[in-house]
Amino acid sequence: MKNVLFVASECSPFIKTGGLADVIGSLPQALKKYERVDVRVILPLYDEIPSEWRDKMKYETSFRVPLGWRNQEASLYSLEHNSIKYYFISNDYYFTRKGIYGYYDDGERFIFFSRAVIEVFPHLDFTPDVLHGHDWQAGIAVALAKIIQPVENLKTIFTIHNIKYQGLMPHDMFEEFFNLPSSHFGGFEWNGMLNCMKSGIFHADKVTTVSPSYAEEIKNPFFSEGLHPILLEKSEDLVGVINGIDTDEYNPMKDSHIEVNYRHSRVKKKENKVALQERLGLPISEEKPLYVMISRLVEQKGFHLIQCILEEFLQEDVQIAILGTGDEEFEGYFSHISENHPEKLKAYLAFDEGLARQMYAAADFFIMPSKFEPCGLSQLIALQYKAVPIVRETGGLKDTVTPFNELTGEGNGFSFSNYNAHDLLTVLHYSLRVYHDDTKWGKLLKNVNKSQFSWKQSAREYVNVYECTTKVTI
């Protein structure tokens, strides 16, 4: 059995702002179940973690964390949940705040967390063979693990979930917080800034990202957010492993949020459609095609394309439901357009997990035209709930959705390649034609039913990565 310590800034069910939390919440389970790897997870103990979890945590010990000329106190807590052990690092000054990100000193907070992860090793009840850091918040932990080697022969993996967020701060933070000789500075600096993501990439034995296509894309300046030179240098040690979803959690046969549970039944899916129409106040119709979007309302997710063509698509006999929160620009746009088209479009500007599940269950189509998408989990959930994804061919969307081909009968969705609104509109119109053609629609749904995105295969691929770095057979 190999020991792996995940270092991350969020993890379901304790604390979540995005897809990262889903992955950190479900991948350790899969690694344990399929590959017998002992994965434990270490996280900051945010005030925001609900007391139902905090009350169950066990205090382990307190220890000192050197940060430049100062020492900070940290405490270690632990909790077992679904047979995975979780560790939490607490420090009132850094983590007793509302929310989890968005503070002027986020850089310092995650330098502290990373340094605390290194200092905690002697206090843990297991000895990691691999430290596996996720996203910029864990980049410094990967770098320090490589340099300080808190246990002999510790190997490091760094996973990029989204290269857009890099954890940038003034370069003099290195001297201020790091207690390292200046010869190490180059490994942390990028374009005159201290860069946490670059630090993780530079020091890791292996770098992974969350889909094979994104692993290729980020070597290109259009996607790399400036980091392509370092990724090109590292390209032999860079691999893409597609994310899975927890198929027990996202299961239309068992989901208690939805009106009628189902497996493949189109009749039952239509009952869910009617239930959603009632809830949202849309005209009741089993037959009208229902298009759904569930997303953070941010530019990455392709909302500028939607804005260009939505009015035109609403000329068709369709219904559209939108759920999410985000940038004011898009929230304003969707409130406005739903007022103008009350019979056709409803926008629910909130984060509501129950409603999200009802929307997946009700939808005929799921629209996700992202500008870039490292992996994307919603299109996988949509497929689980038999909603046909309409996506742009980028990153994980390209790796999980194959466009429907009338001639061969292959494909589990619709896609377009260029980041162009009229290409999206063309594919939306095409989806409508297929929907109204029983034979084609039936074929497409059969392919959707066969799509599988559990963690099983990806867990194996992660173990290969661990094996490659440690060169010991598990």
Which residues contact ligand GLC (rule: CB under 6 A)? 18-20, 23, 161-162, 210, 243, 373-377, 396
C-beta of 23: minimal distance to ligand GLC in Å?
A: 5
CA dist list (Å): 252 to 97, 118, 259: 37, 42, 10
Residue pair 62/56 in contact by the 8 Å Cβ criterion: no
Nearer to ligand GLC, 91 or 137 (CB): 137
Nearer to ligand GLC, 23 or 347 (CB): 23
DSSP 3-state assignment of 367? Answer: strand
C-beta of 366: minimal distance to ligand GLC in Å?
A: 15
Nearer to ligand GLC, 289 or 324 (CB): 324
Give the single-character DSSP code of 284: P
CA–CA separation, 398 and 415 (whole Å): 8
C-beta of 319: minimal distance to ligand GLC in Å?
A: 27
Nearer to ligand GLC, 400 or 431 (CB): 400
* Rg, C-alpha atoms of the chain: 23
Pairing of strands 193-195, 168-170: antiparallel
CA–CA separation, 312 and 316 (whole Å): 8
C-beta of 1: minimal distance to ligand GLC in Å?
A: 25
Nearer to ligand GLC, 159 or 358 (CB): 159
C-beta of 175: minimal distance to ligand GLC in Å?
A: 32
C-beta of 87: minimal distance to ligand GLC in Å?
A: 21
CA–CA separation, 379 and 216 (whole Å): 20
C-beta of 257: minimal distance to ligand GLC in Å?
A: 21
C-beta of 409: minimal distance to ligand GLC in Å?
A: 29
Nearer to ligand GLC, 76 or 297 (CB): 297
Nearer to ligand GLC, 295 or 338 (CB): 295
CA dist list (Å): 113 to 74, 89, 109, 434: 9, 7, 6, 51
Residue pair 164/140 in contact by the 8 Å Cβ criterion: no
Give the Cβ contact number of residue 328 at 10 Å.
8
Which residue number has the CB closest to ligand GLC? 19
Nearer to ligand GLC, 23 or 145 (CB): 23
Tokens of 251: 């299961």
Pairing of strands 206-209, 155-160: parallel
Buried b (16+ CB within 10 A) or exposed e, 330-367: beebbeebbeeeeebbbbbbeeeeebbbbbbbbbbbbb
Tokens of 41: 């997870």
